[in-house]
């Protein structure tokens, strides 16, 4: 099949709409990711737990130490530590007592991840990204070129002096800030395009269920939607949601045909609809 003289791949969204089928649930990895995100947001919403983590990332602490530093009871600290432990954010260790008594329990952070929240008109995205593990040389293949030299300098060393460390960290902070500014600009551009797409969705699709489906496809175009879950959210039957999908597919294909201005050549058994020819 050739569309005019473009010689291009079939539009991602149209091709996706043709392949989609009813599925009983989201893929397991997505369910796991969503659960981890919800757990992380729940744990970090509490100011005391955030204060605990802020101190534990510097060095391991005893519950009594944390209680004195944060200014809450040791009982409350232990309760929060148990929640953080169940959420796999911290772990406890037994260390010898300095006074020769039984071993004491100390806590440290054991999980490394990044939470990203983007909110604005035509923009809502929250994700939890696990940070890559491994030493500096293992990370170097993923680092920007200007950060690779730092990885090479510190590789294989168990300790770095404060003065040298401050220099490296300052350089990395500058690079992170630059990347953040670039990411902000990309997100702003993404938001602007999404707003214009939303305007087209509002005018080109007939009812709320169709617009909801299109927005779901726009947000994750390469992930098969869970039509069963979508049917439940929209209070529709499986037959109804299948009909909505079929109508959305028709409208998307018609939209592309109307706006392309290209001649479409098809074979005798086309995948495109008759009016695209």
Tokens of residue 182, six digits: 């670039």
Mean pLDDT is lowest, of 5-14, 29-38, 70-79, for 5-14
Instruction: Give the model's confidence band at 30: pLDDT under 50 very low, under 70 low, under 90 confident, else very high.
Output: low
What pLDDT is attached to residue 22? 40
Is residue 5 pLDDT above 80, yes or no? no
Tens of pLDDT, residue by residue over 192-245, are: 998 998 888 888 888 898 888 888 888 877 777 778 888 888 888 888 888 888
Cα–Cα distance list, 55 to 46, 116, 142, 211, 274 (Å):
15, 22, 29, 46, 65
Is residue 269 pLDDT above 60, yes or no? no
CA 28 to chain centre: 15
Mean pLDDT is lowest, of 9-13, 43-47, 115-119, 238-242, for 9-13
Residue with the bigger pLDDT between 75 and 273: it is 75
Mean pLDDT is lowest, of 28-32, 113-117, 124-128, 170-174, for 28-32
Considering 32-36, 54-58, 256-260, the range whose residues carry the highest mean pLDDT is 54-58
Tens of pLDDT, residue by residue over 142-195, are: 999 889 999 999 999 999 999 999 999 999 999 999 999 999 999 999 999 989
Residue range 30-109, CATH number: 1.10.10.10
CB 241 within 8 A of CB 24: no
Length of the chain: 277
Instruction: Give the model's confidence band at 270: pLDDT under 50 very low, under 70 low, under 90 confident, else very high.
Output: low
When the pLDDT of each residue in the chain is averaged and rounded to a whole number, the result is 82
What pLDDT is attached to residue 32? 58
What pLDDT is attached to residue 242? 86
Dist. CA 70–CA 55, nearest whole Å: 9
Q: What is the pTM of this model?
A: 0.71
Is residue 7 pLDDT above 90, yes or no? no
Residue 109 host element (H or E): strand 104-109
Strand, helix or coil at 129?
strand
Q: What percent of the chain has pLDDT over 70?
A: 81
């Amino acid at each position: 099949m050739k569309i005019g003289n473009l010689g291009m791949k079939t539009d991602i969204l149209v091709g996706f709409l043709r392949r989609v089928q009813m599925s009983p649930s989201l893929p397991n990895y997505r369910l796991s990711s969503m659960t981890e995100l919800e757990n992380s947001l729940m744990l970090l919403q509490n100011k005391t737990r955030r204060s605990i983590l802020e101190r534990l990332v510097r060095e391991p602490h005893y519950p009594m130490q944390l209680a004195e530093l944060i200014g809450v009871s040791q009982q409350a600290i232990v309760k929060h530590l148990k929640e953080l432990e169940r959420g796999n954010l911290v772990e406890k260790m037994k260390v010898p007592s300095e006074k020769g008594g039984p071993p004491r329990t100390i806590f440290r952070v054991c999980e490394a991840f990044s939470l990203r929240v983007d909110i604005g008109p035509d923009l809502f995205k929250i994700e939890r990204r696990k940070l890559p593990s491994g030493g500096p040389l293992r990370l170097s293949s993923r680092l920007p070129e200007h950060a690779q030299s730092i990885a090479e300098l510190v590789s294989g060393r168990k300790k770095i002096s404060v003065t040298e460390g401050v220099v490296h960290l300052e350089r990395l902070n500058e690079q992170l800030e630059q990347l953040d500014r670039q990411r902000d600009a990309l997100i702003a551009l993404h938001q602007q395009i999404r707003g214009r797409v939303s305007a087209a969705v509002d005018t080109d699709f007939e009812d709320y269920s169709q617009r909801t489906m299109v927005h779901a496809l726009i947000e994750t175009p390469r992930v098969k939607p869970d039509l069963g879950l979508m049917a439940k959210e929209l209070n529709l039957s499986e037959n109804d949601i299948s009909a909505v999908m079929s109508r959305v597919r028709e409208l998307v294909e018609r939209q592309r045909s109307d706006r392309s201005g290209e001649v479409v050549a098809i074979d005798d058994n086309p995948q495109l609809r008759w009016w695209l020819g």
